Structure formats: C-alpha cells, structure tokens
Structure 1
Amino acid sequence: MAVAAHSQYNCLIYNVNEGVATVTLNRHRKKNALNKEMWTELILALRSASRDDRVVVCVLTGSGDYFSSGNDLNNFIEASKRGSDAANYMTFENVPLVKLLVDILIDFPKQLIAAVNGPAIGIAVTSLGLMDVVYASDTATFLTPFTSLGQCAEACSSYTFPKIMGPSKAYEVLFFGRKLSAQDAKDCNLISEVFPEDSFQREVQTRALKFAALPRKTLQAAKKLCRDGERDHLRGALKRESDVLAVLTSSDECRDAIKNFFVRKSKM
C-alpha cells in the first residue's frame, strides 16, 4: 500500500540527535489515539528512520500522559459520515494500514526502543512484542480489550505474546483483557525495566544515546541475526491475524460492540 510523502508531521514529533531518532506520538489531547493521519505519519517516520544514515537507534514514545490509547474508534464515526460503516472502514482502510506498519516493524533494520510513558491500549501494547527493548514509566498500564470490541489479537501478538509471557499469561491478556501494571509487564518479560515517571524520559534518552555510540554495523548485524530466524513466523502470524480481523470486523458482534462502546463513553 503506497503512502505519499509528507513535508511535515501533524500528529508526530520527529527528531534526530546524536544517532537517536525519537518519534513522539503527539495527539495528547486524544490520548495519542491512532487516527488515519497518525497511522500514515508513523509509517513515514519509521521508514525515514530506517533509511537515515544518521540514525543508529530509534525511540518510540508518546506526549502527555498516555503512550497511546490505540486505534481511534472515532475513525468509525468519520467512516460513517463518508457513507461507509465500521466494518468497511476496518477491512478496507484500517487493516491495510496496520498490516503495513507491522511489516515495517518486522523488517526494521535498526534497534527499536519503545518508551512507554503512560497507559497503552490495543496495538500500542501488542506491537511491543516487535520492539527490541521496551522501557516503561511506573505510570504505564497495558490493556488489550479486543474481545470486548469484537476483535482479535494483532501486530503478531498471537505469536509473540505466548513466546514472551508463556501461554497462560498471554491468553489471559489477549483473550480476557487482563490489565497489566508496569511491574506486571516486567514480571512477564514484556518490558525490560521500569523507571519513575519524573526521571523516565531522561533515563531512556541516556540509554539510547549510549547504545547509539556502539558500532552501527555490528548492531545491525546482531539485529538481523536475531530477526531472520523469526521473520517467517511473524509474517505467518500477521497474515492469519489480518484474515481473522477482516472477518470479525464485518460481524454484527463487532458493530454492536463498537456501538456499545460509544454508548458507555457518552454516559461517562
């Protein structure tokens, strides 16, 4: 799926400093929810970092209190205004963008660090299994409410989570929407380290700059060695998940679940 080049980012902050590219999700008033524009810009930013010779390490983080609240369900409202419905939006617009982003994460040639500065929901959680290192603030939480929204695991998490956490914990998270604290996530190996909120970004940047000073060709060779053995498994999981999502999001269960979500939200 082709993505047109943008002269600037509206939903992200992208900068490079001493070998570290920092990509900051920047819709903090919307809890960094991923709308179509942000999906597209994130794809562009990661492509840029992967091709930029100045970049050794890439850090993905969020602005404000949230890392990301995941897919912006208001996308469905916008789709309906265009004469589409939630199922058509998910099948023909959202799923291809998610697949393209996950493809980029699978093939990303440089070290990729997630700095989870606050709550993470949905694909903001499942994509962590494709990162090289994940750090979290002690304010971070991790929630995958797929079943309650009539959807299923994504971003290869049907493969990565059981491998990382073990099947029982992974299935509790992916099937039943168990919410993890930062310490819970560390205990089940989803993240590497937890830092206090007030020093979090400083701690992450200090480590990223230290990593970026290492020999870049050696780093990339090490990444390739580790990822090459997993690539076929990850692509298989991505294909299966995309196929199942396309079916589920066309179902009455999904439509009803999304409608109920907005009803509950309107009463809050």
Structure 2
Amino acid sequence: MHPKKLFKKIVVDNENIFNAFLLFPKPILIALNGPAIGACVTSATLCDAIIASKTATLSTPFHRLGITPEGCSSVHFPRLIGSKNAQKMLGPEGWVPSAQEALEVGMISKVVEHERLMVEAQSLAESWIQNGKKRTVPAGGDVRHLAMVNHRESVDLANAFMSLPFIQGQINFLTSKNKFKEANIFKLIKATMPLWKKVI
C-alpha cells in the first residue's frame, strides 16, 4: 500500500472506532471481566459506566509502544481521573490500575466479585431502561469536542505509527521474541524511511 494511502487509512480507521462509541445514541454499559489493554480501555471510558470484575486491570501502554494516546484519552483521562493519574497511565510510568484502584480514582463505577459481574451488569442495565436513562459521557465530556479530539489523536497516531521510535520499537520487540523475519520487515521499512516519508 502506498504510504500516503496507509496514513489516511490509519487516521480514518482509528477515528471510526471511537466515533462508533462517541456517537452511539443510547447508553452503553461495559462489563469488564479481566485485563483490558489500549483501545479496550479508552473506548470503555467513553461509555456511560464500567462495572468491573475484581480480576480486571486497565493498561494503556502507549508510551512504551512509542505511540501517542488514542480514544480521546489525552483530554478525557485528565478530566475523568485527574491530570496526575492520567500522566501515570499514559506516560513513561505506564501505571496499570487494578479494578479497585480504577474505582478509587473514578475511572470505573463499580467493582464486583467475578462470578457476579454479568448479574450486576444486567441489573444496572434494566434499571437504566426503567428510568429512561439518556446517553452521557463521564466527566461531562462534550461529544462534539471529543469527536474533534478523536480526529486530532488519529492523525497523531498515524504519524506515530510511521515514526522512527515506533519502527525501532517493533524491531527491538520482535528481535527479543526471536521473530527475525518480521523484524527484518521493519528493518527494511526503517532503511527506506527517507524515501517514503517524502510522499506522505
């Protein structure tokens, strides 16, 4: 695929993923039953509520991967859990809160025993229906503004995917896993970077 087409595809695909949550007209309840990583975390925080099993964890390892935050997290996380906690999750520290820790900082709504998760989620969903709950984004997020943030982050993410830190990170990771064939593909991408960067 031509680098310019790939860049555009990354932007559009990433933007569409999170707009599907942002623009959904009805309340969305997340029942988190275990470890969640990356977009699974950021998309969940755009929903009305998260009920989590005690076994759940929430990881956003963007910094370690050499990429930028997505899913509106650069703006939404500071509002939702405070700037300090957002930086801990999104920055070099790469904090991975447990369900209880996520509850304490305001990222999720409730923690339950693992075997009770679906029962509790069903009960809450039924109460929403009975009470005519309307769609909301936690922390008072404005959907139109978050959609603009989503677009900006999607462009930033495409740039990050086509940057030297990400490519080198993939080489290092794949080499550490003895996946030399795959690592060589990224080495070729790195070697030809001065050429294809000009046409993005």
Q: TM over 0.5: same fold?
A: yes
> Secondary structure of 1:213's partner?
helix
Spell out, residue by residue over 1:3-44, the C-alpha distance to the aligned partner (whole angstroms, 9 max, x if none): xxxxxxxxxxxxxxxxxxxxxxxxxxxxxxxxxxxxxxxxxx
Match of 1:234 in 2: 146
Report the CA distance between 1:232 and its aligned residue: 3.1
Counterpart residue identity of residue 59, structure 2: L
Counterpart residue identity of residue 186, structure 1: L
What is the 5 A alignment of 1:149-188? 149-176=65-92, 177-188=94-105
Select the residue among 158, 161, 178 that pairs with 1:249: 161
Report the CA distance between 1:245 and its aligned residue: 1.1
Report the CA distance between 1:105 and its aligned residue: 1.3
Match of 1:16 in 2: none
Residue pair 2:11, 2:155 contacting (<8 A) in 1 also = no
Match of 2:189 in 1: none
Match of 1:115 in 2: 31
Report the CA distance between 1:266 and its aligned residue: 5.0
**2: CA distance between counterparts of 1:229 and 1:252?**
33
Residue 3 of structure 2 is aligned to residue 91 of structure 1: no
**1: CA distance between counterparts of 2:48 and 2:56?**
18
Residue pair 1:122, 1:143 contacting (<8 A) in 2 also = yes
**1: CA distance between counterparts of 2:45 and 2:89?**
13
Spell out, residue by residue over 1:104-161, the C-alpha distance to the aligned partner (whole angstroms, 9 max, x if none): 2111111111111100001111122211111111000111111111101101111110
Residue pair 2:48, 2:138 contacting (<8 A) in 1 also = no
TM-score computed with the length of structure 1 as normaliser = 0.60
Moved more, 254-263 or 182-191: 254-263
> Secondary structure of 1:125's partner?
helix
Residue pair 1:90, 1:249 contacting (<8 A) in 2 also = no
Counterpart residue identity of residue 251, structure 1: S
**2: CA distance between counterparts of 1:244 and 1:94?**
10
Residue pair 1:143, 1:178 contacting (<8 A) in 2 also = yes
Residues 227 and 142 from structure 1, CA distance in 2 versus in 1: closer, same or farther, beyond 3 angstroms?
closer
**2: CA distance between counterparts of 1:120 and 1:171?**
18
**2: CA distance between counterparts of 1:88 and 1:265?**
30
Could you list the runs of 5+ residues in structure 1 that have no partner in the other structure? 1-83
Select the residue among 108, 111, 123 that pairs with 1:191: 108
Spell out, residue by residue over 1:69-101, the C-alpha distance to the aligned partner (whole angstroms, 9 max, x if none): xxxxxxxxxxxxxxx59x879734444222112
**2: CA distance between counterparts of 1:225 and 1:198?**
27
Moved more, 120-129 or 201-210: 201-210
Q: Which has the higher strand share?
A: 1
Counterpart residue identity of residue 131, structure 1: C
| RMSD over aligned Cα atoms | 2.6
> Secondary structure of 1:194's partner?
strand
Q: Which has the higher helix share?
A: 2
Residues 199 and 256 from structure 1, CA distance in 2 versus in 1: closer, same or farther, beyond 3 angstroms?
same
Residue pair 2:76, 2:141 contacting (<8 A) in 1 also = no
> Secondary structure of 2:28's partner?
strand
Identity %: 33
> Secondary structure of 1:180's partner?
coil
Residue pair 2:45, 2:107 contacting (<8 A) in 1 also = yes
Higher relative contact order (CA closer than 8 Å, sequence separation 6+): 2
Could you list the runs of 5+ residues in structure 2 that have no partner in the other structure? 180-200
Residue 127 of structure 2 is aligned to residue 210 of structure 1: yes
TM-score computed with the length of structure 2 as normaliser = 0.78
Report the CA distance between 1:252 and its aligned residue: 1.5
Figure out how many residues of one structure are paired with residues of the other and give that number. Answer: 178
